[in-house]
Copies of this chain bind each other. A is one copy, B any other.
Amino acid sequence: MLRESYREELDDINACLVGMANTVGSAMSTATTALLDADVALADLVIAGDARIDAVRESIEERCFTLLARQQPVATDLRTITTAMRIVGDLERMGDLAEHIAKVARMRFPEHAVPQEVRPVFLEAGHVAENLVAKAGTVIAKRDIAAAVELEADDDVMDRLHAQLFRELLSDDWPHGIESAIDVTLLGRYYERFADHAVSVARRVVYLVTGEHSMAPAAG
């Protein structure tokens, strides 16, 4: 592989990662809509779409492996490729979490899995999730450290939403029973883990660019 096409391949892999982040963002948005609207057709779209996300992951991993095998890169290029291999794992897991959300929506259809009291929380969690993955895409595309910092703040918002969910569940007037409490607990965890993985993506890029670990590890 010529030097220019090696560089092009690295850039193309990066572009594929950004595309994968966009696909995962769409899956998450659609899953949130399916959840809030009890829309089983949208839920099924997300569930069916996860196989494509997994396929993109395999493709990117193989391309990274091929570069390692044929080009035997060192130094920054090597770290770029190993970073890409880790990021693709985070993005795939984010796709799985969107699928889990869609499956809850589907399981409870035609009922709404999310009771009225906590609709606003999940609506905002969906928005925060969209912001998180959009910023993760920007961080990957442009090595944008400022976006990585904003992403950490969005993760804090998601933590507060998650805490708010628990307060609602544990309040004296949760009238919806155990099954609903279980659903809301698991859904809350899926959004929280989605945020954790977005933070993980951003931190890997920051470490690649700066050599610094920005903050404490993403808990969760």
Chain A positions near chain B (C-beta within 8 angstroms): 54, 65, 68-69, 72, 74-75, 78-79, 82, 85-86, 89, 96, 166, 169-170, 174, 178-179, 181-182, 185-186, 189, 217, 220
CB-defined contacts of A178 to chain B, threshold 8 Å: 169-170, 174, 178, 181
Q: How far is the CA of A169 from the CA of B180 in the complex (A)?
A: 11
Contact yes or no, B89 A65, CB < 8 A: no
Q: Name A220's closest neighbour in chain B (CB-CB).
A: B96
The minimal Cβ–Cβ distance linking A80 to chain B, given in whole angstroms, is: 12
| Number of this chain's copies in the complex | 2
> Main secondary structure on chain A at its contact with chain B?
helix
Q: Name A70's closest neighbour in chain B (CB-CB).
A: B74
CB-defined contacts of A69 to chain B, threshold 8 Å: 74-75, 78
The minimal Cβ–Cβ distance linking A148 to chain B, given in whole angstroms, is: 20
CB-defined contacts of A179 to chain B, threshold 8 Å: 169-170
CB-defined contacts of A181 to chain B, threshold 8 Å: 178, 181-182, 185
Contact yes or no, A65 B86, CB < 8 A: no
The minimal Cβ–Cβ distance linking A77 to chain B, given in whole angstroms, is: 10
